[in-house]
Amino acid sequence: MSVTHKQIADKVGVSEASVSVALGSSGRIAAKTKARILQAAEELGYRPNKLVQGIQTGKSMTVGVLLHCSGDPYEDNLFRGIYKVLAQNDYVPIVLSGCDELEELSQVHALIDRRVDGLLLRPFKAILWEDFLPEILGRDIPVVSVDIEMQARFPEIDFVGTDETLGTAQAADALLNAGHRRLGVVTTKHASAEGVKYKDSLYYRHHAFQSYVSGKQGVSCSYVEAFWAQGIHGYESALNLLSQEDRPTGVFVTMDHLAVGVYHAARELGLRIPEDLSVVGYANNPISQALAPQLSTIHQHADEVGSKAAGLLLERIQGRPEGDDRRQILIEPEWVSRDSVAPPPQPKR
């Protein structure tokens, strides 16, 4: 049975109105009286009615979080960072996931209908935001985007993500410093598309890598698009890339899972990793350590991305003006050296 204001008032010897003020309602009360009331509430095991408090303050103390439904370990670590900051500030996350455009739109509306105080969004397909983001912003709901850069279209939205430019430079340098000059990229179809309105992390990785190596003398770089429907991630695309007459000796995959297909294709073609082919991944997912040899990759600090995103959103909720300059935070990734990179093979005489 829940503890009532009357029980606390009887224990302290004050009015129910005084208890209400001490426990969060508007009004003033003597500091000593408030301390006695709070102590009594704790002793009785009082738990506040958040619904009532929300009506009184106009705040639900909830934050909507929309994530992918991919089951990616990155997502788990991202949410861990989000939850830590929200919990420290007495906010409760309402977490939903979208697997396609229609489901995602429905999920966002579900969050809005529950009167969340703000939204942390990492959408399945950002192109859909063109339709419903104006509605969200029109309701004065603070929004922070995670990993999807949309500020060109919606400049008022804060953004937190990984510094993909730095990460891809680290990946490229690992191959270049090992002596590789014929490079390849295995990426996803949407990541290689030009003229997209909303650019996600895979897009930035692909284009930043190509831009970085294009200025290096004597370096060539080709890429292939991988489709998830191929079965083994990236296998057919990697097979085409590695079957070229002047095949790459070093390959960058824009996500660790695509390395699975590269490894299978290399094995089918009789190429040894790293003796004949070096491979660099991105994300440092558990699969990178399950591959043989273990995949050298770029580690993303997903928990820090999540905590920074939650912190920015709480700033907006708690009073930073919406018209204030939008903020962008890029978290530095970290190179993880394992066993998949070596100098390129010497030409046969």
pLDDT tens for residues 217-250?
Answer: 888 888 777 665 444 668 888 999 999 888 999 9
Model confidence pTM above 0.95: no
* Separation of alpha carbons 273 and 282, rounded Å: 17
The pLDDT of residue 155: 74
Q: With residue 157 as reference, give the H or E element that holds it.
A: none
Model confidence at 95: pLDDT above 60 = yes
The pLDDT of residue 342: 97
Lowest mean pLDDT across 40-49, 250-259, 327-336? 40-49
The pLDDT of residue 299: 97
Q: What is the pLDDT of residues 259-309, one digit of tens each?
A: 999 999 999 999 999 999 999 999 999 999 999 999 999 999 999 999 999
> Do 149 and 197 meet the contact criterion of CB atoms below 8 Å apart?
no
Query: Domain 60-163+302-332 - what CATH class?
Result: alpha beta
Model confidence at 24: pLDDT above 60 = yes
**Residue 220: φ, ψ to 5°:** -115, 150
- Please report where in the chains the tokens 């229609």 appear, as a residue: 102
Domain parsing of the chain, residue ranges:
5-48, 60-163+302-332, 164-300
* Separation of alpha carbons 286 and 75, rounded Å: 13
**Among the residues of the chain, which ranges form H helices?**
5-12, 16-22, 31-44, 50-57, 73-88, 101-113, 129-138, 164-177, 201-214, 235-242, 258-268, 287-290, 302-317
Domains 60-163+302-332 and 164-300 share a fold: yes
Per-residue pLDDT averaged across 251-261, rounded?
92
Q: What is the pLDDT of residues 123-145, one digit of tens each?
A: 765 555 666 677 777 778 888 98
* Separation of alpha carbons 318 and 242, rounded Å: 54
Q: What is the pLDDT of residues 34-55, one digit of tens each?
A: 888 888 887 877 776 555 555 4
CATH 3.40.50.620, applies to 164-300: no
Model confidence at 148: pLDDT above 90 = no
**pLDDT grade, residue 195 (50/70/90)?**
very low
Q: What angle do helix axes 5-12 and 31-44 make, rounded to 10 degrees?
A: 120
Per-residue pLDDT averaged across 184-213, rounded?
74
Q: Which two tokens stand for residue 326?
A: 């939008």
> 337: burial class by Cβ within 10 Å (0-12, 13-18, 19+)?
exposed
